[in-house]
Amino acid sequence: MNENSNNKPKINVPKPNLSWLYVVIAMVFAFLWFSSDEGSANKEITYTEFKDMVSKGYASKIIAYDNNTVNMYIKPEHIADVFKSDANKVGRSPSVNVQVGSMEALDKFLDEEQSQGHFTGSISYEKKNDYFGVIFWNLAPFLFLIALYFFAIRRMGGGSGPGGGTNVFSVGKSKAQLFEKGANRVTFKDVAGQAAAKQEVEEIVEFLKQPQKYTELGGKIPKGALLVGPPGTGKTLLAKAVAGEADVPFFSISGSDFVEMFVGVGASRVRDLFRQAKEKAPCIIFIDEIDAVGRARGKNPNMGGNDERENTLNQLLTEMDGFGSNSGVIILAATNRVDILDKALLRAGRFDRQIYVDLPDLNERKEVFGVHLKPLKLDKNVDVDLLARQTPGFSGADIANVCNEAALIAARHSKASVDKDDFLAAIDRIVGGLEKKTKVMTAAEKRTIALHEAGHATISWFLEHANPLIKVTIVPRGRALGAAWYLPEERQISTKEQMLDEMCATLGGRAAEDIFIGHISTGAMNDLERVTKQAYGMIAYAGMSDKLPNLCYYSNDEYSFSKPYSEHTAELIDQEVQNMINEQYARAKALLLEHKEGHNQLAQLLIEKEVIFAEDVEKIFGKRPWTSRSEEIMASEEASKQKEEKQEKEETPVSTSENEAKDPEVKELPEPTEDKTTLNN
């Protein structure tokens, strides 16, 4: 604790000098004091007492104010009669105050007293002065200017948050948020899935925990690691888990926080950040969305540039390669645009390694669902395996959104728990959009949509490599008038045959319209778009063409305006794409004509029920003869688990009998924990 407190950076924030304020207050009080007749006594009296004192000749001077108040000064010889005290104690000019009814009555009374000789003093009429108002309106402009000054300084300094202050010179301070040791600690237990990424960052944790273990052998602690992956995969959470596991301070900042409108501010903030980090070492600096400041320099000068951003990047490069290699400061950064980063930033010695945080696979999605399902009140029919299979391509953030949406849907229907249908509705809501049951359709339009969707379902059922069907609906959802839901196969590699089967199933809707209605519609526009992109990808990128075999025309240059092939090759690509799509379209038509009766039954069932499931399709066409890839993987995992459990049961009695032979008293003792762990592993 003492070491931590000594290493804490001391930031001297300039404080405003308030001495002038005290001087102003003193001057105001002095003015009020000297304007009040040197502190003489003053007394409130009634109008009757006032008339009596004037008649007795006590008044030396009378001052009448415009607010019907009268101030009467007492003659020195009569001070004791009025104040019952010595003249030295009440001041040199004691007076009394009285409220009169009208100035006309006062004038008449004083004229009578003067004529009788009772009052021989002077009479004056004055305007009542409001000292507070005078002072306020005189000081108000100065107070406004002072407030405006402080407001401008705080705005230029970034406010009272991190990196802000009350001085303009704090604009160059780092805006990094500091998480101290033990504060909001996140560990690897909070990160579900991402086993490969966690394995790589565990080394960084070891570097921070035991740096001497590596430095004694002459090794150098890596300076940085770049977390690369799609949005929502948990890059920021993984960085926080690294800091939590290592139990070290954690500086978090966004790449955009370095860039400001002032010249040189970004570079200044980079310097200040690394200065604080070195004082807190060992620690971690995490820069989120580093592509905001780490874009490649001078990629295309003709399209404009940002000198301030480049200066910031130059300072970052200098700092990363400028401090000692064993200082204990490790930089983690996250981005989903690694292709646009500057090459100098990615070289060894700065970001020594790139850690890919990919989208979770089937088993990892089960783990993520397990984390987000814990706070929910679940029904018994919720199948985590089915949810994991039905959400391919979903990130951790998407899965969290699914769980939250399912809970909202269950609450909307006043359910006691969240069941399977709520989760399926949540997935449909996120993927396809909100149901629009109020959309009006004619019987002909409804039949067209039913035939279209039944065409997709029929062809996918009879193709080996097509995605397994989940359900088919003709209820409008989002911008779609109908949809067929599948369990996409998460293949590591895709063959030409698999891609052709998917293309054929996608064209099934258009083919069904052409055969059974006699005309085509715009409902297949999305299908045609997907098929066209897939065909061009297969021919131009994957080399899956007879006339252009084993050729890839992919170009990674985003600033290139020319195609990497000739016009003749472009014509060949267009011709091959057209031939491929026409072949699969003819194949789809042939399959539909072969299973014409089943297709019509399926379409009629869709018109009646609006939503049908794979069980309904199975009743019409029979059981699908092929097993999906996901089912095959899950069956293999289940078989391996059963095998391990069987081995454990077989090995446990053997070990027990051996122990019994050695020592009869071991019967009464429980099994050692170490043996269980070994068997499970």
Helices 496-506 and 525-536 cross at an angle (nearest 10°) of: 160
The SS3 call for residue 287 is: strand
Where does residue 9 fall: left (phi above 0), alpha (psi -120 to 50 degrees), or beta otherwise? beta
State the first-to-last Cα distance of the chain, in angstroms, to the nearest integer.
Answer: 39
| Structure letter (DSSP) for residue 435 | B
Pairwise CA distance, residues 122 & 62, whole Å: 6
Q: For residue 231, what are its two tokens?
A: 């949005």
What pLDDT score was predicted for residue 497? 92
Distances in Å between the Cα of 598 and the Cα atoms of 14, 59, 199, 451, 603 are 82, 122, 51, 11, 9
What pLDDT score was predicted for residue 500? 93
What pLDDT score was predicted for residue 14? 47
In 3D space, the residue among 377, 365, 386, 433 whose CA is nearest the CA of residue 406 turns out to be: 377
- Contact (Cβ atoms closer than 8 angstroms) between residue 473 and residue 456: no
Q: For residue 438, what are its two tokens?
A: 């109020």
What pLDDT score was predicted for residue 281? 78
In 3D space, the residue among 507, 502, 487 whose CA is nearest the CA of residue 393 turns out to be: 487
| Structure letter (DSSP) for residue 507 | T
- State which amino acid sits at residue 237: L
Pairwise CA distance, residues 505 & 498, whole Å: 11
Pairwise CA distance, residues 326 & 222, whole Å: 9
In 3D space, the residue among 7, 102, 58 whose CA is nearest the CA of residue 327 turns out to be: 7
Q: Which residues of the chain have pLDDT under 70?
A: 1-40, 87-88, 128-134, 152-184, 260-263, 299-306, 322-327, 437-438, 478, 490, 556-561, 627-646, 648-681
| Residue whose entry in the numeric block shows the structure tokens 């099994």 | 671
Give Cβ neighbours of residue 391 (< 8 Å, ≥ 6 apart).
365, 398, 399, 402, 427
Pairwise CA distance, residues 257 & 270, whole Å: 10
Pairwise CA distance, residues 606 & 60, whole Å: 111
Per DSSP, what are the bridge partners of residue 439?
none
Q: How many CB atoms lie within 10 A of CB 368?
A: 27
Q: For residue 350, what are its two tokens?
A: 């700065």
Selected catalytic residue, list 245, 289, 405, 453 = 453
Pairwise CA distance, residues 601 & 340, whole Å: 53
Annotation marks residue 453 as catalytic? yes
Distances in Å between the Cα of 349 and the Cα atoms of 232, 323, 334 are 28, 11, 17
What pLDDT score was predicted for residue 263? 67
Task: Answer yes or no: pTM beyond 0.85.
Answer: no
Q: For residue 534, what are its two tokens?
A: 């897939």
What pLDDT score was predicted for residue 586? 94
